[in-house]
Amino acid sequence: MKYISLFILLLTQQLSAQLLVSPIDAMKENFDRNATITKKNILLTHDKFKTIQKNAGVKLTTKIYRVYIAKKNGKILGYGVLVNRKVRSKNAVTLYFFKDSVLQGIEVIAFNETLEYLPPKRWTQQFENRKTDKVLKLNREITNISGATMSAKSLTDGSRIAFAIYNMLYKDK
């Protein structure tokens, strides 16, 4: 019962930011408008939590994540890993799209900071077509944003968490 209450609390926190686009719509837009999208809530075991945290090189704040799966005609088209990170003092929720061990791109689903800190689409395109075995770092593979450094760091760190979750649970399956 304790885990169920914690799970519900954390999911409501993930959705507390200002919703910009529905995760289902973002998945359909990225993979196929006619795809069937299912969502799976994942509660990481202690060992998986530690492994993902180590592989991501980022401190995790929760053991609960949501993964979306796009299917059409029984075939998996891709995955979406939803990651909730603080930017300054408020949450940003980002969906990271994966297909065949490649990050296809990202979509900011909800953003509760001032919208002027929301990275532009041109900047988020840097995440497109990145292999999941590569660790993305700000100011190396991903250029920074002047005036929105904390947003850039949050999204880049989130990508490493999403990579680690995808690689552990879905890569080569």
**8 Å CB contact between 32 and 135:** no
- From first to last of its 173 residues, the chain has per-residue pLDDT tens of 555 544 444 444 444 457 889 999 999 999 999 999 999 999 999 999 999 999 999 999 999 999 999 999 999 999 999 999 988 888 899 999 999 999 999 999 999 888 888 888 888 899 899 998 888 887 788 888 776 788 888 898 999 999 999 999 988 76
| Tokens, residue 67 | 């993964």
Number of structural domains in the chain: 1
User: CA 168 from chain center: how many Å?
Assistant: 14
- In sequence order, what are the beta bridge partners of 106? 96
Could you identify the residue written with the tokens 């979406």? Answer: 80
Q: Compute the residue count for the chain.
A: 173
For residue 171, the tally of other CB atoms under 10 A from its CB is 15
- Among 108, 105, 106, residue whose Cα is nearest residue 22: 108
First to last CA, the chain: 32
Range of the domain at 70: 2-169
> CA dihedral in degrees (134, 81, 90, 152; nearest 10)?
30
9 burial level (CB within 10 Å; 0-12, 13-18, 19+):
exposed
Three-state DSSP class for residue 45: coil
Residues 113, 121: Cα–Cα separation, whole Å:
17
Q: What is the pTM of this model?
A: 0.85
